Amino acid sequence: MTAPSAGTVEMTIRFPYKRSLGPVIGAFMTGLAGQQILGIRNGSEVMCPPLEWDPKTGKELDHGALVEVGPAGTVVSWTWVPKPSAQHPLDKPFALALIRLDGADTALTHAVDAGSIDAMSTGMRVAPRWKAERQGHITDIEAFVPGEDPQGLDDSRPEEPVTMMPYNAEIPYTLPIAVNTARNAVALKEKRLIGLRCPVCSRTYAGERGFCPIDTTALTAEHEVQLPQTGTLTNYTIITPVQYPGQTETEPFARCMILVDDSDLVIGYQPVIDLPVEQVRVGVRVKLVWGDGDIEGWQPTGEPDVDDPDLVNRIY
Ligand SMILES: [Zn+2]
């Protein structure tokens, strides 16, 4: 079943992290920061980019066998990128190419800024265009350019060996917004709590659900009901935050299930307000507190607790 769409929203999941480089890749990156491209000797071959292991046999290579290669090289193979994405190294059309640098027997993948697809050919000669600001990363070479002469040479050399590399993994995606989700967002902005009552089984669901999971009846605007903004706490979890990088919570906090009055709608993972973690319990009567266009949390009303052993079974 596909819900009718009210447009789309662009989202990006980001996962920034640092990785350690080890003796060979670390030396390769340190070389790049100093405008030097290193390969590693493997028997009669020189591999660039260098590896710690022989890819054919798995035998460990001599980390002292690093040799300078290039800076110019020959395009072995290439593909044209007519519409670069945000993750590509250049923001104009370019070629992604396998480049065998002079003195190397294997090829390095990098961008070639040739200007147009017509300027690209297998066997063409290219040289690196260095960035002025280098950090020990493959993108210290902005791109390769046609010809024999490197561009952007300077006498800046890294003060310290490069041992770590920042890495920013990210996935951009487009999320369709269902009509019910859009209508529910409007209601929340107007500080209204809406539900959708199934005409077949009479169960009430949160306002953004598109269908009844019991009988698959489609739920639309005509099934909308205004819900009271009070309820009872039926279940909870106390979360003790682990202090990983990026964690903003420092103290234990509760996330609660709230059974909304006059309905069988349980809203999950709700924050509670003015209710210390050690006082969170099943049966507390609560009222909704609005934030900016959304539910901020639920606050005790001061009424006596609801004494109903069945409350703990109300998770959904
Ligand atoms: Zn139903």
Residue 1: per-residue pLDDT? 45
pLDDT tens-place string over residues 200-210: 999 998 888 88
Whether residues 26 and 156 fall in one domain: yes
Whether residues 54 and 143 fall in one domain: yes
Taking the centre of ligand 1 as the mean of its atom positions, its distance from the CA of residue 289, in whole angstroms, is: 29
Domain count, the chain: 3
Whether residues 70 and 139 fall in one domain: yes
Taking the centre of ligand 1 as the mean of its atom positions, its distance from the CA of residue 246, in whole angstroms, is: 41
Taking the centre of ligand 1 as the mean of its atom positions, its distance from the CA of residue 204, in whole angstroms, is: 8
pLDDT tens-place string over residues 146-166: 999 999 999 888 889 999 888
Q: For residue 168, tell me if it sits in a domain.
A: no
Whether residues 234 and 223 fall in one domain: no
**Model-wide pTM > 0.75:** no
pLDDT tens-place string over residues 54-79: 988 988 888 878 999 999 999 999 99
Taking the centre of ligand 1 as the mean of its atom positions, its distance from the CA of residue 227, in whole angstroms, is: 18
String of DSSP letters for the chain: --PPEEEEEEEEEEEEEEEE-HHHHHHHHHHHHTT-EEEEEETTEEESS--SB-TTT-PBP-TT-EEEE-SSEEEEEEEEESS--TTSS-SS-EEEEEEEETT-SS-EEEEE--SSGGG--TT-EEEEEE-SS--SSGGGEEEEEESS--BS------SS---EEEEEEEEEEEEEEEHHHHHHHHHHHTT--EEEE-TTT--EEETT--B-TTT--B--GGGEEEPPSEEEEEEEEEE-----TT----S-EEEEEEEETTS--EEEEE-BSS--GGG--TT-EEEEEE-SSSEEEEEE-SPPPP--GGGGG---
Taking the centre of ligand 1 as the mean of its atom positions, its distance from the CA of residue 316, in whole angstroms, is: 14
Whether residues 195 and 147 fall in one domain: no
- Taking a 5 Å cut-off on Cβ, the residues next to ion ligand 1 are 198, 200-201, 212, 214-215
Q: For residue 133, tell me if it sits in a domain.
A: yes
For 95, the domain range is 22-162
Taking the centre of ligand 1 as the mean of its atom positions, its distance from the CA of residue 219, in whole angstroms, is: 9
Whether residues 216 and 268 fall in one domain: no
Whether residues 151 and 73 fall in one domain: yes
> Stretch 222-230: mean pLDDT, rounded?
95
Residue 16: per-residue pLDDT? 83
Taking the centre of ligand 1 as the mean of its atom positions, its distance from the CA of residue 206, in whole angstroms, is: 13
Residue 216: per-residue pLDDT? 93
Taking the centre of ligand 1 as the mean of its atom positions, its distance from the CA of residue 87, in whole angstroms, is: 45
Taking the centre of ligand 1 as the mean of its atom positions, its distance from the CA of residue 295, in whole angstroms, is: 26
Q: Does residue 5 surpass a pLDDT of 80?
A: no
Q: For residue 169, tell me if it sits in a domain.
A: no
Q: For residue 35, tell me if it sits in a domain.
A: yes
- Among 162, 197, 212, the domain-final residue is 162
Taking the centre of ligand 1 as the mean of its atom positions, its distance from the CA of residue 265, in whole angstroms, is: 13
Taking the centre of ligand 1 as the mean of its atom positions, its distance from the CA of residue 40, in whole angstroms, is: 67
Taking the centre of ligand 1 as the mean of its atom positions, its distance from the CA of residue 212, in whole angstroms, is: 5
Residue 86: per-residue pLDDT? 81
Taking the centre of ligand 1 as the mean of its atom positions, its distance from the CA of residue 215, in whole angstroms, is: 5
